[in-house]
Chains A and B, each alone.
Chain A
Amino acid sequence: MRAACHPSFTVTQRGRNSDPSNPRTREYNTGRVPAIQFDAVTYVQPSGARIFDNFTLGVEAGEVVALVGRSGAGKTTLLRLVNRLALPQAGRVLVDGRDTREWDPIRLRRSIGYVIQDVGLFPHMTVAANIGVVPRLEGWDPARIRARTAELLELVGLPSETHAGRWPDELSGGQRQRVGVARALAADPAVLLMDEPFGALDPITRTELQREFRHIQSRLKKTVIIVTHDMLEALSLAHRVAVLDQGTLTAFDAPDRIAASSDPRIRQLLDAVTLQAQRSD
């Protein structure tokens, strides 16, 4: 039964049906069960601060959703609710149609790739060992792990021969982020959660990685939630953009419609991008 419920199984099936080549104009079959569903979620932090109150949002399989908002809008908390690092006080978070409360947290997390904000590479493991963490936990045989590691390193643009044996502190920021992405993808999870994955990088590396992300996503068709405070990044990567403001969903729409919105809270975020673009000219 468990195998049938496994998200990677169901999602790959669904992913193949959708057309990823033109995200901006893609139509969604709203009758399908969403891969990830926030259902009237209320979440109060241990400190007592109420982050979400009756929050609802659905993410389709194979879809890339960007969560945009200012710092403290609760973007990271949403990711933590998906892989059960946090549980809602009210409402439900459904992953592959199942309440996270009912998921075994270990199984759930191993079937979700997570690229965390500070990368969080293990400093005592080589690049290859870092990428192989989940496969090792899952008991893959060493030859398969080696092959998978090499494959992923090629995928994220780091030649395996020169990079597999390196230590995290010998890598540049961009290389660390690539390894972080490779590590999250290692066990071929259906869902990928990315928390500001390109946040700490210089603009050139950042653009390069964004381009590679689109390329990778066009091949792998994962269900992706990407958190960013950069509207431009959200518009260029996502199928749909969710704009968060103090725990409420201000807008949730395709990038072109978000870009054309007249809502002042969205305009504010867009204006920041325009200003940034002008400055870098």
Chain B
Amino acid sequence: MRVIQFWSSHRAELLGLLGQHVLLVAISTLAAIAAGVPLGIFAARRPRLSAPLVGFANLVQTVPSLAMFGFLLPVPLLGGVGPRTAIVVLILYGLLPIVRTTIAGLHGIDPSIREAGTAMGMTRGELLRQVELPLALPAIVAGIRVAAVVGVGSATIAAAIGAGGLGEYIYRGLSMVDGTVILAGAIPAAVLALAIDGGLLWVERSLVSRRRGSRRRIAASAAAATAAIAIVLSVTTLVSGRRDAIVVGSKNFTEQLILGEIVAQTIERETGLPVDRRLNLGGTLICERALAAGDIDVYVEYTGTALTAVFHQPLAGDTAAVLQTVRDAYARTGRTLLEPLGFNNTFTILVRGNDARRLHLKTIDDAAAHAPGWRAGFGYEFLERPDGFPGLSKKYGLRFGAPPRVMDLTLTYRALAASQVDLIAGDATAGLIDALDLFPLEDNRRYFPPYDAVPVARAATLLRYPDVRRALTALAGRITAADMRAMNNAADAGKEDPAAIARKFLESK
């Protein structure tokens, strides 16, 4: 029922995503037909070629789609962030079933029928058009059906690289750990797959039915009409793509979605320029490549992440030094790091609010004295990473009575609140900190490297639209860690929409 409420409150967005999804599948399936049928015809006539060709298509099919998107991202012309890459991948997936059924359909024709055509003086082309293709058509349509249904499924993954479609809800739901939002995308995707499957099955059946005459013609014209509509739609969207829009990106977790909305809405309000949202991109590297390629104009990055993941430098130095290093590195590659938004999304050491008040704890040093009687709980990552537990324990002389318990990061907050452990390392902006009355201790010896949130934009975009720079610079220092925690909590626990949270925040300031 909550799914239905979600749909009715997101009606316009749902229709938009559904439209994008249909377009992705329609364009890629049409292209796969255009390439796969001739390829199948070619291979069917050359048995020596058909085996390696089908083998290759099989191989492509076994590559997980997420990996395929990853391979294609850096490829010029084909790759990049957005629907183009998604369409290329979906075409590759659609080829196999279409090539295979085209070959099977042609090989399945009674040799005496082909012989009759040749003996009557048909050229190869006439034989193909008038005899072989019409007879292989039901098999080919079966292949198209498989390709389209597989396409509907694979297209949900395309949301990871900013291609849009119903996968956006699925990814949003996954990052918010909200089953309702996942279902909001998964159910229409499944219905779409069933509808396409049913429609094409009907076309296929009509083609093989005994009473071919009228139904056959209806089926053929229905298929042709659908294809025509899809082509017209895709051409108009491609042509009408808003060239001058500022494209705002974000990574695929709650905080990034909210920050993406804040950036997007700020640009919309302050400059009046149209904004395209490419939120929910699948990670730092995808955002970085998209920015480098010009597929997005701006997104919010964290200084520590930029230093290590983007520029491959060791984590060192204080907030100002890291900011300067990253700003220089971006400047050298045509990007501009704007002003920090105000909060630092680093690791933070957390204890229960009760303990902090009772024992008057303010800093990690304060807590170190109590550590021998405590038990710690950490995520897997924190135990391993260079800026994780080993260094922390050395820096502060932290010694616990028992070795730290290892658990999933999201579970550590609840384990702390439930007194199963007494100290954890969490994200400084986690919404659960306030929701569960946890207390962040001050890193008084400055152990944790800075992860200040800062918008990074293409220099060319800022030169062309100085208003964008002005608008984003005005956000400097305006989002505190407490603000960010509250907004994350509103999304994760309150199930509020990131766009609404961002709007509320900007209006309150």
A110 near B120 with CB under 8 A, answer yes
Give the interface size bracket for B toward A: 10 to 19
B134 near A124 with CB under 8 A, answer yes
- If A85-B118, A167-B210, A167-B212 touch, does A120 touch B123 (CB 8 Å cutoff)? no
B119 near A116 with CB under 8 A, answer yes
The residue on B at minimum CB distance from A183 is B120
A106 near B117 with CB under 8 A, answer no
Q: Which of B113, B121, B135, B210 contacts A109 (CB 8 A)?
A: B121
Contacts of A114 in B (CB 8 A): 116, 119-120
Is B236 among interface residues, defined by CB-CB distance under 8 A?
no
Report Cα–Cα, A105/B121, bound state, in Å.
7
Is B122 among interface residues, defined by CB-CB distance under 8 A?
yes
Chain A 57-97 interface residues, beta-carbon cutoff 8 Å to B: 83, 85
Contacts of A120 in B (CB 8 A): 110, 112-113, 115-117
A116 near B112 with CB under 8 A, answer yes
Report Cα–Cα, A124/B121, bound state, in Å.
18
Is B328 among interface residues, defined by CB-CB distance under 8 A?
no
A116 near B118 with CB under 8 A, answer no
* Interface core residue of B110, B115, B121, B131 (most chain A CB under 10 Å): B121
Is A134 among interface residues, defined by CB-CB distance under 8 A?
yes
Binary flags per residue of A118-139, CB closer than 8 Å to B gives 1, else 0: 1111111000000001100100
- If A133-B120, A137-B121 touch, does A169 touch B113 (CB 8 Å cutoff)? no
Report Cα–Cα, A122/B114, bound state, in Å.
9
Is A117 among interface residues, defined by CB-CB distance under 8 A?
yes
Q: Which of A111, A122, A124, A167 contacts B116 (CB 8 A)?
A: A122
Chain B 89-144 interface residues, beta-carbon cutoff 8 Å to A: 110, 112-113, 115-123, 126, 130-131, 134-135
Report Cα–Cα, A114/B115, bound state, in Å.
10
Report Cα–Cα, A118/B118, bound state, in Å.
14
Is A232 among interface residues, defined by CB-CB distance under 8 A?
no
- If A137-B126, A167-B212 touch, does A122 touch B117 (CB 8 Å cutoff)? yes
Chain B 251-291 interface residues, beta-carbon cutoff 8 Å to A: none
Report Cα–Cα, A121/B120, bound state, in Å.
11
**How far apart are A139's CB and chain B's nearest CB, in angstroms?**
12
Contacts of A109 in B (CB 8 A): 118-121
Is A107 among interface residues, defined by CB-CB distance under 8 A?
yes
**How far apart are A190's CB and chain B's nearest CB, in angstroms?**
14
Report Cα–Cα, A109/B119, bound state, in Å.
6
Report Cα–Cα, A114/B120, bound state, in Å.
7
**How far apart are A150's CB and chain B's nearest CB, in angstroms?**
19
A122 near B131 with CB under 8 A, answer yes
Report Cα–Cα, A157/B130, bound state, in Å.
27
The residue on A at minimum CB distance from B131 is A122
A116 near B116 with CB under 8 A, answer yes
Binary flags per residue of A140-182, CB closer than 8 Å to B gives 1, else 0: 0000000000000000000000000001010000000000000
The residue on B at minimum CB distance from A110 is B121
Is A251 among interface residues, defined by CB-CB distance under 8 A?
no
A122 near B119 with CB under 8 A, answer no
Contacts of A167 in B (CB 8 A): 210, 212
Chain A interfacial residues counted at CB < 8 A = 25
Contacts of B110 in A (CB 8 A): 118, 120
Report Cα–Cα, A124/B133, bound state, in Å.
11
Contacts of A134 in B (CB 8 A): 120-121
Report Cα–Cα, A166/B134, bound state, in Å.
18
Contacts of A121 in B (CB 8 A): 113, 116
Q: Which of A119, A124, A137, A183 contacts B212 (CB 8 A)?
A: A124
Report Cα–Cα, A88/B467, bound state, in Å.
83
**How far apart are B382's CB and chain A's nearest CB, in angstroms?**
67
The residue on B at minimum CB distance from A79 is B119
Report Cα–Cα, A124/B105, bound state, in Å.
14
Report Cα–Cα, A110/B121, bound state, in Å.
5
A85 near B119 with CB under 8 A, answer yes
B210 near A169 with CB under 8 A, answer yes
Contacts of A117 in B (CB 8 A): 112
**How far apart are B207's CB and chain A's nearest CB, in angstroms?**
9
The residue on A at minimum CB distance from B126 is A137
The residue on A at minimum CB distance from B137 is A124
Report Cα–Cα, A110/B134, bound state, in Å.
22
Is A108 among interface residues, defined by CB-CB distance under 8 A?
yes
Q: Which of A107, A116, A183 contacts B121 (CB 8 A)?
A: A107
* Interface core residue of A85, A119, A121, A124 (most chain B CB under 10 Å): A124
A108 near B131 with CB under 8 A, answer no
Contacts of A116 in B (CB 8 A): 112, 115-116, 119
Binary flags per residue of A207-237, CB closer than 8 Å to B gives 1, else 0: 0000000000000000000000000000000
Contacts of A105 in B (CB 8 A): 121
**How far apart are B48's CB and chain A's nearest CB, in angstroms?**
16
A123 near B113 with CB under 8 A, answer yes
Binary flags per residue of B201-235, CB closer than 8 Å to A gives 1, else 0: 00000000010100000000000000000000000
Contacts of A107 in B (CB 8 A): 121
Report Cα–Cα, A110/B118, bound state, in Å.
10
Report Cα–Cα, A110/B119, bound state, in Å.
8
Report Cα–Cα, A207/B130, bound state, in Å.
34
Report Cα–Cα, A114/B112, bound state, in Å.
12
The residue on B at minimum CB distance from A108 is B121
Report Cα–Cα, A111/B119, bound state, in Å.
10
Contacts of B135 in A (CB 8 A): 122-124
Contacts of B119 in A (CB 8 A): 83, 85, 109, 114, 116
Chain B 127-174 interface residues, beta-carbon cutoff 8 Å to A: 130-131, 134-135
**How far apart are B116's CB and chain A's nearest CB, in angstroms?**
3
Report Cα–Cα, A116/B123, bound state, in Å.
18
Contacts of B126 in A (CB 8 A): 137
Contacts of A124 in B (CB 8 A): 131, 134-135, 212
State the B residues within 8 Å of A (CB): 110, 112-113, 115-123, 126, 130-131, 134-135, 210, 212
Would you list 18 pairs from A and B whose C-beta atoms are within 8 A, ordered by A residue? Answer: A83-B119, A107-B121, A108-B121, A109-B118, A109-B120, A110-B120, A111-B121, A116-B116, A116-B119, A117-B112, A118-B110, A120-B117, A122-B116, A122-B130, A133-B120, A133-B130, A167-B210, A183-B120
Having A116-B112, A122-B116, one finds 18 other A-B pairs with CB under 8 Å, namely A109-B118, A109-B119, A109-B121, A110-B121, A114-B116, A116-B119, A117-B112, A120-B112, A120-B116, A122-B113, A122-B117, A123-B135, A124-B131, A137-B120, A137-B121, A137-B126, A167-B212, A169-B210
State the A residues within 8 Å of B (CB): 83, 85, 105-111, 114, 116-124, 133-134, 137, 167, 169, 183
Q: Which 6 A-B pairs have the closest CB atoms?
A: A120-B116, A109-B121, A110-B121, A118-B112, A114-B119, A120-B112
